[in-house]
Amino acid sequence: MEKKQKPSGAGIVCYFDNRSGDLKKHEKDILYLCLTTHKGRYDFPKGAIDYKEEIEACALRETYEECNLDLFDFASLSDYSFQCGRGLFMFLGEIKSSSIKSIKIKMNPKIKIYEHTGFKFLTIESILKKDEILGKQRLYSYLIDSLKWADNIIRDALE
């Protein structure tokens, strides 16, 4: 059995179930919240664990700091995580319909810069599609397995 590394960071793979078409200009499917970087890449809300901080608290803090979603903005939030990268642990959270309007990109409070330029709601197929300009996938490679993990959990729950 693979041993988990000591946690160094945490985040949340945030999604919205749009199968009923609540987000009018988006596909009727499971949509993932992708933060966009200055270089046109896709990212999830995540970051480094503060001294003596629990990974769950880190995931929630980083999600709030980066895109303004807190615990009460989620219809559900996993109590288990997926390890991706070196010590990065990702949780899974379903965004409430009423909280979509709350999402906004925020300035990093410690370094006083915007780490992301915006956000998009995308299907897993759109996220994993190779970008012609970049010549690779837009989602950082170390996050791909966490997206697939999240999608498997969601699809299994829908069956």
Per-residue confidence (pLDDT) for residue 140, from 0 to 100: 92
Supply the pLDDT for residue 3. 55
Residue 1: the pLDDT is: 43
pLDDT along the chain (159 residues), means of 10: 73 97 94 95 95 95 97 96 92 97 92 93 94 83 96 92
Cα separation of 152 and 136, whole Å?
Answer: 23
- Using CB atoms within 10 Å of the CB of residue 95, give its burial: 0 to 12 exposed, 13 to 18 middle, 19+ buried: buried
Q: Output the CA torsion 105→109→110→115 (10° steps).
A: 10
The model's pTM is 0.93
Residue 126 CA, distance from chain mean position: 15
The single residue listed with the structure tokens 């946690």 is 7
> In whole angstroms, what is the distance from residue 106 CA to residue 114 CA?
6
User: What is residue 133's predicted lDDT score, i.e. its pLDDT?
Assistant: 74
